[in-house]
Amino acid sequence: MSSSEHFDTVVIGGGPGGVTAALRLAGRGLTVAVIEDRLVGGECHYWACNPTKTLIRPIEVLELARAVPGVREVVGSDRVDVKAVFAKRDVIIDHLDDHDIVAGMTEAGIDVVHGRGRLDGERTVVVVEPGGGERRLHAERAVILATGTRPLLPDVEGLESASPWTNRDLATMKRVPGRTIVVGGGVVGVECATILSGLGSTVTLLVRGSSLLRGSEPFAGTRVAAALGDRGVDVRFGTHVTSVERDARGGITASTGDIRLEADEIVVATGRSVNTNGLGLETVGLPGGEYVTVDDHLTAKGVEGEWLYAIGDTTGRALLSHVSQYHAGIVADVVAARAEGTLRDGAELMARDAGRLAQIIFTSPQVVEVGYTEAAARQAGFTVTTRTARYPGGLGELLILRDGFDAEAKLVVDADRDTLLGATFVGPDVADLVQAATVAVVGEVPLSVLRHVIAPHPSLSQVWNPLTAAR
């Protein structure tokens, strides 16, 4: 093993959060090394958000075209061109090549190391490179853990040996299975079912519980389930997969009690596991294989010296790439401020994500969620009132956007302060509403002010009007 190489900061994990933190720190004049054992750019860029949204966008556009008079009459097919969709997807994921991203980081002065990184005591990281060689890195200021998560395979007889698809396989698929079983009724499961059915697969969605999107407002799961059913997806609730088998011809058989389902592929979307196994956390007094608990400066709790940080999925605070990037900005500023001796106790350099996060679920209809659901707000101890609306309702102008516009929304209001705690929108193109809802929740804008926010006519933003009107 060579002698230690010294950097101000070592980042373990080159996903969205790790890359963003490294660039921010390098821009502040700190020396930075980033360690990544797969492709620099991470899960979101190659195997999750970016490719899956690229796959679903043509489906959305075709559905919109078929809902607009004057356009549907000239649309010649009820299916997208799968070959063209895959070609665009391949461009978006850089053909699974991180050369350009690495080149950009190198140009910014960052040392990119491909290999498996692990802690080896205070401020020390050992990297095992692909060829088996080792490098020993010493972090003068900080080690940032940005190792993310991986798909979780449940303990089901025969599942692992059947080589099931996960989000990674679906995102990079080269063919559309004729028949697909999707296991899981959460965000990834419903998005996979939407994509596959939209690309022509006959989909069976197996859900252990009694509803989809268990952590969302109930109407969101109900509407998505109905829409999937309308698309031909066979949604089966209360279904537990007991065994899976892949036959000699490559076909899949999944057993659910006495029922046997046959398909060409099975996609497992049953959760994520944090990538902290083998990370050397034990060498600094933390348990391996678990989320790293952090304070609001994103400093690891239980480690003295304020040198170890964790961001994004690794913290367990939210498994969302945009949260990883938000954390990256906070942690870069904290590390730089501590290096300069200018860190203050104010809220500016503290992560303020609890109860304020935004998420878009890219199904058809889309789902936008910001902040608390009603149930979560009540559990957190807030005194809650709600406001709901169905559309088009009295908003006939929405009919000009497309035929068959059907949507629903709900606001969760802090009754003591008359401010928004949460918002949920379900309907076509409601992703466009997410930032307005996020600003209202994070900014704690009173309803008495929101009702004077005049939405331009005619626009989707007018769905706010009945929600914020004086009562």
Return binding residues for FAD. 53, 117, 313
Tokens 């949604």 — which residue?
235
For residue 327, the surrounding DSSP H or E stretch is helix 321-340
Task: Read off the tokens for 437.
Answer: 């809802």
Task: Read off the tokens for 234.
Answer: 């066979």
Which 8-state DSSP code applies to residue 162? G
Query: Rounded to whole angstroms, how far apart are CA atoms 227 and 304?
Result: 52
β-strands 124-128, 179-183: how paired?
A: unpaired
Give the CA diameter of the chain: 72
Q: One of 138, 297, 452, 457 is an active-site residue; which one?
A: 457
Tokens 């990079």 — which residue?
172
| Cα 174 → chain centroid | 23
CA neighbor of 466 nearest in space, from 391, 357, 376: 391
Whether 457 is catalytic is: yes
Query: Rounded to whole angstroms, how far apart are CA atoms 90 and 174?
Result: 10
Query: Rounded to whole angstroms, how far apart are CA atoms 387 and 375?
Result: 14
Tell me the HSE value of 414 on the side-chain side, using a 13 A CA sphere: 19
β-strands 265-268, 179-183: how paired?
A: parallel
Binding residues, by number, are: 53, 117, 184-191, 271, 313
Helix, strand, coil distribution of the chain in percent, nearest 5: 35, 25, 40
DSSP string, 52-78: HHHHHHHHHHHHHHTTSTTTGGG---S
Peptide bond into 456 cis (omega under 30): no
DSSP string, 100-115: HHHHHHHHTT-EEEES
Kindly list the catalytic residues. 457
